[in-house]
Structure 1
Amino acid sequence: MRVAFTFPGQGSQSVGMGKDLADAFPQAAQVFAEVDDALGEKLSATIWDGPEETLTLTANAQPALMAVSIAAIRVMEARGLRLADHVAFVAGHSLGEYSALCAAGTFSLADTARLLRIRGNAMQAAVPVGKGAMAAIIGLEHGDVVQICADAASLGSCQIANDNGGGQIVVSGEKDAVEKAAALASEKGAKRALLLPVSAPFHSSLMAPAADAMRDALAGVTKHNPVVPLIANVRAAAVIDAGEIADLLVEQVTGQVRWRETIEWFVANDVTTLYEIGAGKVLTGLARRIDKSVSGVTINTPADIESALATLLA
């Protein structure tokens, strides 16, 4: 009977997220103030008041989602939660990996905010607009999509970006190749194969310039071993060495987010409950589709925190 904390990725953001936490708890308000100071701007105003198109920009959405997650964590810590005592593992989906590492003490809050701002800008700048694309393929097995990417590669780079489980796989790469992959997936019997409204081909080889930027950025920040192991996106296995984690975060920029395998790893290692810390409930839904034996709990409101603490601290 073990517990893991998971942290959401891009796409979970919404205008107003975290405002009820900041209004209810001074520890949450302090997190948003620290992120604002670290970035030298009032990101909190964009998070709470919009406009939505500004919040959705990659360079804003990434630190914004992290801020909401850590606001919840800081409130829980103030009420007696200690990650090392109550949680066995942490994991995060793409940018959520940084939230997980901030929660587990690898990076300071200010450094995490700055790293995610660098990451967002670097990912956006890595590929000219219109050159890359991403597509969601629903209803095919992982091996089928690997073959589809290989077949589409005659038109350019194409690879699996996210294996989200439950028959949901996202491919990423050059636009012509991704469009070809979507067409091939439909021919193979996919339930759906649709291009995603994203601004860049994340988690593909085209992101190599962003990986270089993150290697430099990560080299310049203080890192500590996390207080509980991280289940790393690109490895779907536990890691606790800070230097190794930094290398994997660089690899993650161009590599596959192996979320299905991450949930399967949790199940194999006696994790029975996954708490999704932060905005939305995407990861809870994915976990339910991957393995119904796992219990999923979302924590993003004051009431959620009260309920979770009653269980975790019992």
Structure 2
Amino acid sequence: MRAFIFPGQGSQSVGMGKALADASVHAREVFQEVDDALGQNLFKLMSEGPESDLTLTENAQPAIMANAIATLRVLEIEGGISLADKAQYVAGHSLGEYSALCAAGAFDLGTTARLLKVRGQAMQAAVPVGVGAMAALLGADIDTAQKLADASAAEGEIVTVANDNDPSQVVISGHKAAVERAVGLVKDYGIKRGVLLPVSAPFHCPLMQPAAEAMAAALTENAPNAPVVPVIANVTAAPVSDAETIRNLLVQQVTGRVRWRESVRAMEEIGVAHFVELGGKVLTPMVKRSATGEVETSSIITMDDIEALLKSL
């Protein structure tokens, strides 16, 4: 079995998608459709920067999605394949879950772009800049990270596990002082290193509740359809195909933990042996570290990558 997987925030870079757009009219059509849906020249920002603007959450989220879907569309149209024939599951990391749902037909491209714009704006607005923070714990498993988070939360401050990425990397999120306190305590818990992340808000923690409410409203107006293949949901690490359940899980995802390690293992247990990352190369190392057995991974970014994948499908 095969799963198509989609990267999350942090995978953006100036120049993303440009070579693909230069090589394929179908990629250009995706970027133009996203620009039209948002009423902004996002592709110009993706191509030329500045990086500071591309990194803004409200721009990075739709940009990463657009790049992934452009890659998929070139693969499907120029390769003469369909996702439903070549993948049994889709999954995405945080915002990548929206890319996965778009790829599987739960949302059309324009709706996905607008939802991610709202999501990015709502996440940024939920917590004043400087109040929250996130940190990566390197060499930490989930149980140790949870103990550290519990010990660092004090006097009403929040710090919680936001991303369970793989057996050696967990991300915590919450009030800045509590997260900084946790980073200062890593050695006491046998964790190799704690690194504050250059993010503008504390994602995937209870401080994001205002953003969850904004997404609940947006997803009521733009309800998903049933996907053509099941999506492995971030907050449950389990396959889901029911449209209403997907909507509810997307709302929960804003404040909930990204269970990526568990998602990979769930797919592996189902029988997925080939993980294809579209539009990035961030998730495939996490997949290899999370899988309990031998799995095949492919990172598809360039036309050469697409051609190589088509030969193997």
Q: 1:139-184 deviations in whole A, cap 9, x for unaligned?
A: 1221121122112221401100000013100000011111122222
Which amino acid in the other structure matches residue 228 of structure 1?
V
Matched residue of 2:9: which SS? coil
| Distance across 2 between alignment mates of 1:210 and 1:54 | 21
| Distance across 2 between alignment mates of 1:113 and 1:141 | 34
| Distance across 2 between alignment mates of 1:138 and 1:222 | 37
| Residue of structure 1 equivalent to 2:126 | 126
| Residue of structure 2 equivalent to 1:107 | 107
| Residue of structure 1 equivalent to 2:191 | 190
Contact map agreement 2:68 2:99 (CA 8 A) in 1: yes
| Residue of structure 1 equivalent to 2:148 | 148
Counterparts of 1:207-226 in structure 2, within 5 Å, are 207-226=208-227
| Distance across 2 between alignment mates of 1:222 and 1:239 | 15
Matched residue of 2:218: which SS? helix
Q: How far 1:81 sits from its partner (Å)?
A: 1.4
Matched residue of 2:137: which SS? strand
Matched residue of 1:293: which SS? coil
Q: How far 1:203 sits from its partner (Å)?
A: 0.3
| Residue of structure 2 equivalent to 1:262 | 263
Label 1:222 to 1:212 Cα distance change in 2 as closer, same or farther (>3 A): closer
1:166 aligns with 2:202: no
1:311 aligns with 2:276: no
Q: How far 1:90 sits from its partner (Å)?
A: 0.3
Which amino acid in the other structure matches residue 208 of structure 1?
Q
Which amino acid in the other structure matches residue 191 of structure 2?
A
Matched residue of 1:296: which SS? strand
| Distance across 1 between alignment mates of 2:195 and 2:28 | 39
TM-score of the pair, normalised by structure 1: 0.97
Q: How far 1:223 sits from its partner (Å)?
A: 2.1
Which segment drifts farther, 108-117 or 260-269?
A: 260-269
Q: 1:78-111 deviations in whole A, cap 9, x for unaligned?
A: 1221111110100000000000000000001000
Q: How far 1:123 sits from its partner (Å)?
A: 0.3
Q: How far 1:133 sits from its partner (Å)?
A: 0.7
Aligned length in residues = 310
| Distance across 2 between alignment mates of 1:80 and 1:229 | 22
Q: How far 1:198 sits from its partner (Å)?
A: 0.9
| Distance across 1 between alignment mates of 2:73 and 2:8 | 19
Matched residue of 1:16: which SS? coil
Q: 1:8-33 deviations in whole A, cap 9, x for unaligned?
A: 00111111111111111111100000
Q: How big is the alpha-carbon RMSD for the aligned residues of Structure 1 and Structure 2?
A: 1.0
Which amino acid in the other structure matches residue 2 of structure 2?
V
Matched residue of 2:226: which SS? coil
| Distance across 2 between alignment mates of 1:95 and 1:3 | 21
Which amino acid in the other structure matches residue 38 of structure 1?
A
Q: How far 1:186 sits from its partner (Å)?
A: 2.2
| Residue of structure 1 equivalent to 2:88 | 88
Q: How far 1:222 sits from its partner (Å)?
A: 4.4
| Residue of structure 1 equivalent to 2:55 | 56
| Distance across 1 between alignment mates of 2:62 and 2:81 | 23
| Distance across 1 between alignment mates of 2:24 and 2:223 | 28
TM-score of the pair, normalised by structure 2: 0.97
Matched residue of 1:154: which SS? coil
User: Which consecutive residues of structure 2, in runs of 5 or more, have no partner in the other structure?
Assistant: none
Which amino acid in the other structure matches residue 33 of structure 1?
Q
Q: 1:184-210 deviations in whole A, cap 9, x for unaligned?
A: 222112110121111100001000000
Which amino acid in the other structure matches residue 160 of structure 1?
V
| Distance across 2 between alignment mates of 1:311 and 1:278 | 18
| Residue of structure 2 equivalent to 1:73 | 72
| Residue of structure 1 equivalent to 2:37 | 38
Contact map agreement 2:224 2:246 (CA 8 A) in 1: no
Contact map agreement 2:140 2:167 (CA 8 A) in 1: no
Matched residue of 1:266: which SS? helix
Matched residue of 2:129: which SS? coil
Q: How far 1:237 sits from its partner (Å)?
A: 0.4
User: Which consecutive residues of structure 1, in runs of 5 or more, have no partner in the other structure?
Assistant: none
| Distance across 2 between alignment mates of 1:65 and 1:140 | 27
Identity of matched residues, %: 55
| Distance across 2 between alignment mates of 1:194 and 1:49 | 29
| Distance across 2 between alignment mates of 1:117 and 1:95 | 11
Matched residue of 1:271: which SS? coil
